[in-house]
Amino acid sequence: MKKSVVLYPGVGVGHLVPMVEVAKLFLKHGLAVTVVLIDPQIFRLLKSMNAPLLDFLRSLPSVDALVLDMFCVDAQDVAAELKLPVYYFYASAAADLALFLNLPTMLAGSKSLETRAVRALKDGLCVPGRATPPVYCIGPLVSGGGDQEHECLRWLDAQPDQSVVFLSFGSMGTFSVQQLQEIANGLDKSGERFLWVVRSPRNPDYKYGDSLPEPDLDALMPEGFLERTKDRGLVIKSWAPQVTPTPGPGERVVFIPHFLRGLGFALHPFVRSLVFYYGLDFHDLAPNSFLHIPAFIVVCETFLRVPPHFDLWLKIFNVKPKVVDGQ
């Protein structure tokens, strides 16, 4: 009899799709797989699903392991009741996994893409003085996108190289009508080619997990926008392929934070944490003081080969207020 694995992705398409890719991997290795779906309306009450989950698992002929989404920690009680081994699936970067090290055995990102972060996890550097749970790298997980080519891919193939700006804000990236029209006006005035994924605005009664209606582009976009930009832009409703579009020869992938920072690099997470911890703004730091921060990051990442460690920072540096003109 095949080994049987049950996957419990919680709610949200951003969690379901990666979990389905994990299911495909298990199937390729000859395991029997069951994916348990729940009503998205009860995201805030996931613990209330423990009883029906327990009954469902007991109804199956056999279950050898339970794989939980990172948000489904309450279901660990179900696994304990049935004496099942539990694995947590965390589809983001291995460097972020340190935040969840209080959980038991986990699945994580890609070793080949994040060698340094995975080494730090396995060497126990992220939680000094405590045991690090086993970490299994099974990524990157990508979907083939199906057999039918999406219309946006055909449109992209017809555009010149290095000419298209891609705007996509994820399953939670919704905007008000006014914000959508501001984005549209910016694209209109830019004169650039663009591919834009638009989701319907949330109404005041929206709850996480509720499905959104298909957007009415004629009602959401500024008057005449779609007609004026039809020769250089494509607006897609709700969802675009996640593996493709992929950059072709001469194309580049950029992220919204780069635009928000004037095409500069996004701020390092350690820097954000540091100013938050001390309650500072950047103008509170003298130039020489500020230079200590990137120098410390370089020492940690380049020479020590670990993520910047806050406890080490506190041992080396003292932040003292400087009084100028009595202030």
Domain boundaries, the chain: 4-137, 151-259, 269-316
The sign of the torsion formed by the CA atoms of 212, 217, 221, 225 equals positive
The residue-averaged pLDDT of 51-60 equals: 92
Phi, psi of 197 (to 5 degrees): -95, 120
pLDDT category at 301 given cuts 50, 70, 90 is confident
pLDDT computed for residue 268 by the predictor: 80
Degrees to nearest 5, angle at CA 271 with 270 and 276: 100
Is the pLDDT assigned to residue 177 strictly greater than 50?
A: yes
pLDDT of residue 245: 53
Equal CATH topology for 4-137 and 151-259: yes
Taking 60 as the threshold, does the pLDDT of residue 100 lie above it? Answer: no
Over residues 261-291, the pLDDT tens digits come to: 565 556 788 888 888 888 877 777 776 777 7
Q: Is the pLDDT of residue 54 over 90?
A: yes
Number of H helices, E strands in the chain: 12, 9
Counting Cα atoms < 13 Å in the Cβ hemisphere of 212 gives 22
Q: What burial letters (b/e) apply to 277-304, b meaning 16+ CB within 10 Å?
A: eeeeeeeebeeeeeeebeebbeebeeee
pLDDT attached to residue 93: 64
Q: What is the per-residue pLDDT for 110? A: 54
User: Looking at residue 40, what is its pLDDT?
Assistant: 56
User: What CATH architecture applies to the domain 4-137?
Assistant: 3-Layer(aba) Sandwich (3.40)
> Which pLDDT belongs to residue 72?
84
Q: What is the mean pLDDT of residues 254-261?
A: 60
Report which of 288, 290, 312, 314 is spatially closest to residue 300, judged by C-alpha positions: 312
Q: Is the dihedral of CA 276, 281, 282, 287 positive or negative?
A: negative
Instruction: Report the share of the chain in percent with pLDDT over 70.
Output: 72
Least trusted range by pLDDT, from 46-60, 87-101, 184-198, 280-294: 87-101
CA dihedral in degrees (299, 302, 307, 312; nearest 10)?
-20
Q: How many CB atoms lie within 10 A of CB 274?
A: 20
pLDDT at 103: 40
What is the chain's mean pLDDT, rounded?
78
Q: Give me the amino acid identity at 36.
A: V
CATH architecture observed for domain 151-259 = 3-Layer(aba) Sandwich (3.40)
